[in-house]
Amino acid sequence: MATRLPVSGQISWPALIFNIVLMFFLSYISKRLGFSDPALTGIGTYIVVLFLLRVIITRDHRHGMMLVKRGKFAEAIPFFGKSYSLFSKHLWIDKYRFITLLSFSNMTYREMALNNIAFCYGQLGNGAKSVEYYEKTLAMFPENMLAKTALNLINAGKKL
């Protein structure tokens, strides 16, 4: 499903390399176990594990993204809040997401959740809440270019 909303994806190259190495390792294990097509078995195993991890652990985040794609911004906010709470409670999952979620995103799920909440409030016309969440993002993640850019745009709009 193509989206017309601006979506930013930042890749962590070391995490991507880890995932590729993991696929080769799973293929090697499959070969050692005697599977007839070890590459297909290794990659298939990787995909199944990836799918299960994402379905179980990032359920709220994914549900929020689905709602955003449908333009249901108010309904999406609580799901991003739940995602933020989950990853705040279990920081190690987010910190080591390249292992725990097989994610090669450069941005943490907590960071994504705060940015997504800010974006949703902006789409709902609640500029004050949008600014609040972008500023919260920057307070926790000072190098977050998405939040910096959004705040610059909001401030530029105020000057018009």
Q: What is the pTM of this model?
A: 0.81
pLDDT at 55: 85
Q: Where are the alpha helices (DSSP H) in the chain?
A: 13-32, 38-57, 59-69, 73-89, 91-95, 97-100, 109-123, 127-140, 145-158
Amino acid at 126: N
CA dist 151 to 27, 117, 147, Å?
46, 14, 6
pLDDT at 4: 57
Spatial distance between the Cα atoms of 47 and 80, rounded to a whole number of angstroms: 25
8-state DSSP, 36:
S
Tell whether 100 is covered by a domain.
yes
8-state DSSP, 37:
S
pLDDT at 6: 52
Tell whether 118 is covered by a domain.
yes
8-state DSSP, 105:
B
Tell whether 2 is covered by a domain.
no
Tell whether 3 is covered by a domain.
no
Domain of 70, in residue numbers: 13-158
* CA contacts within 13 A on the Cβ side of 58: 21
Tell whether 62 is covered by a domain.
yes
pLDDT at 2: 46
Domain count, the chain: 1
The enclosing domain of 49 has a CATH number of 1.25.40.10
Can you read off the two tokens belonging to residue 132? Answer: 């609040």
Tell whether 139 is covered by a domain.
yes
pLDDT by position in tens, the chain (length 160) = 445 555 556 777 777 888 788 889 989 999 999 999 999 999 999 899 888 988 889 999 999 999 999 999 999 999 999 999 999 999 999 999 888 888 878 899 999 999 999 999 999 999 999 999 999 999 999 999 999 999 999 888 888 7
pLDDT at 157: 83
